[in-house]
Structure 1
Amino acid sequence: MCGTMKAIVKKESAYGAVLMEMPIPEINDHEVLIQVKATSICGTDVHIYNWDDWAKGRVKAPYIFGHEFTGEVVKTGKQVSRAKVGDFVSAETHVVCNQCSMCLTGQQHLCNETKILGVDIDGCFAEYVKVPEQNVWHNPAQMPVELASIQEPLGNAVHTVLHTPVSGKSVAIFGCGPIGLMAIAVAKASGAVQVFAVDQNQYRLDLARKMGADHIVDIGKGDPVEVIKQFTRMEGADVICEMSGHPVAINQALESCANGGKVNILSLPERPVTIDITNQIVFRGLTVQGITGRKMFETWRQVSELLRTNTIDVQPVVTHTLPFEQFEKGFELMRNGTCGKVVLMMPSNQRGKK
């Protein structure tokens, strides 16, 4: 397909991004071209937009960023057999090699050669994006595009929470950004007996209530370690999901965990974090697990079924839908924390804004 498209481009190694015309991607034999219908802004995108220390060390401008989206297949490569023109799809954003030991043992999400859409290669903040056929995930025809576009981050929440069995256990979620908010719903649906939502952003703590959190812990009003222990017989939460990336919160998360408990860390701190391994982890028998991406494609199946059966409702997390051209407003909402999930609608799907 020839021609140009509108795209949000990280044009320079500096703060911000620009909307500009870019060539429509050309696909290879194993790839598909997707017309983007909706794309959502992730915390990783905010790192890139702000050009913080993590972004400086990872991404190379100029390029198109963004990695959460849904759309319609408009072209397929010669070797593509599973996807066809007209399919309503989303996509796994980790492009893997299929040859390393991790890939060959069914752990593609840990591939040694992973390239991430919108981080290492051109992404979906554009009218069109190309992905390998193996990354395509087919959506139910009736799924709203807003929800279809946030399945990738919902997969992060599902992977983080369900890495550890939570049925009958207490779960504390540190950081109530969009993924943390979705994690609340996942934990409740999976049988957690009580869920703590820990943050200092009142807007997002209010959303945490809507998502079903049993205890709202405002760190600006008290020590979360003391609050969590108060409701857990002074033992601490059985499972911790760390979503904030803040050094203080990470230490509080470790202190809030019960002896022998599990700490699952999804967050990406901008800088190295100092922790007391001896006293916070070793002597207390904690298991600390790093979470990256989604299990391919076990997590996608879980996400799809949770949504299809209405087992979880993540619609309250989508607080703003904006026209694609208003991306700067979307990033400002994310930077200020005055939103849940911000979804940018492409012209063919713009339905106004909330």
Structure 2
Amino acid sequence: MTALRPHAEEFYAEELAALAADDDRSRPPGWRLSPQAVVTYLLGDGGKITPKYVGSRRLMEVAVATLATDRALLLLGVPGTAKTWVSEHLAAAISGDSTLLVQGTAGTPEEAIRYGWNYARLLAEGPSPAALVPSPVLRAMETGAIARVEELTRVPSDVQDALITILSEKTLPVPELNTEVQAQRGFNVIATANDRDRGVNELSSALRRRFNTVVLPVPATFDEELDIVTRRVAQLGRSLDLPETTTALDEIRRVVTVFRELRSGQTDDARTKLKSPTGTMSTAEAISVVTNGMALAAHFGDGVLRAGDVASGIVGSVIKDPVSDRVVWREYLETVVRERPGWADFYRAARDA
């Protein structure tokens, strides 16, 4: 059987192998690639190495350089700025394993960061190494790999602080066994967080000091965001056997335009001020809208992406609050979309949706 979404180190195995074969620069202990090669893997080389992140090279250089030190990396940004995507590819390029992951939620227990126990063996044998269940962070420490903690600010504060000793001392005490686990060279942590989530638990100053923070911004230009959406839709389309995106560029441009205008609160020409919806209108949501539209076109249309295929997805992304967002959307349709040349089909489809 074929995995629906292979891990980065599996999907891009050929690119990683090619970079490793040609990589003659020095590598930090435990790293599969040199820092320069990791950045090339992320940003592409204009040839065989495809871009995984479209944005500032300097940001990626700072992120990679951080992981080569004893400081952990915190990727911060609004939802949909590729924090998870970047963390996965950093772990894949550095350690060859992006699966050592803790998913942060309001219910994440301390065992997810430290360790737990196989209670059947614990009751039968008492505390023993065989009864201990290592967390992804503990496994990363033992193997000298990168551990990932997603949505760190959603984790309860007392659980967050379990990372302090790990990041400062590079050890994890196991008092039940009267021992400790020492991190092997190459170990580090990449955490992601956003400041737009409800129920955020702020990091303590002690924990924040142990991270270098890199803020991932929303795409700066229209062309940059269009490139990101087109590339990701093409990748997702191949895995889902959807039509090629070459026939969808006009509708992708339209989706990106709508998202950017509503997010910024003004039209692209800066002539008309707009109200912004309560949602983030992120690039990730734009990718989802186009991918869903491609599926509609493939399975219920003629395979060509049209305005009607993306209109309902855009409406669903905009209207999170059924009262205030509906007003924002209706005003945008009537004052901007209705008067825009060449957008009559989208206007009709959006009104119907």
- The TM-score, its normalising length taken from structure 1, stands at 0.30
Rg (Cα) greater in structure: 2
In terms of fraction of residues, the more helix-rich structure is 2
The TM-score normalised by the length of structure 2 is: 0.30
